[in-house]
Chains A and B, each alone.
Chain A
Amino acid sequence: EADIYQTPRYLVIGTGKKITLECSQTMGHDKMYWYQQDPGMELHLIHYSYGVNSTEKGDLSSESTVSRIRTEHFPLTLESARPSHTSQYLCASSEFGGQGDTQYFGPGTRLTVL
Chain B
Amino acid sequence: KNQVEQSPQSLIILEGKNCTLQCNYTVSPFSNLRWYKQDTGRGPVSLTIMTFSENTKSNGRYTATLDADTKQSSLHITASQLSDSASYICVVKDRGSTLGRLYFGRGTQLTVWP
Contact = CB atoms under 8 A, between A and B. Distances in A.
State whether these chains interact: yes
Interface of A: 2, 4, 9, 40-45, 48, 59, 90-92, 97-108, 110
Given A97-B99, A99-B31, A102-B46, A42 B93 contact: no
Given A92-B43, A105-B45, A107-B42, A40 B32 contact: no
A105 B99 contact: no
Contacts of A41: 106
Contacts of A103: 46, 102
Interface of B: 4, 9, 31-32, 34, 41-46, 49, 51, 89, 93, 95, 98-102, 104-107, 109
Contact of B43 (A100, A101, A102, A105): A105
Contact of A99 (B9, B100, B104): B100
Nearest to A92: B43
Nearest to B4: A42
A80 B33 CA distance: 37
A9 to B, nearest CB: 8
B49 A102 contact: yes
A71 to B, nearest CB: 18
A44 to B, nearest CB: 8
Contacts of A91: 43
A108 B40 CA distance: 10
A97 B45 contact: no
Nearest to A6: B43
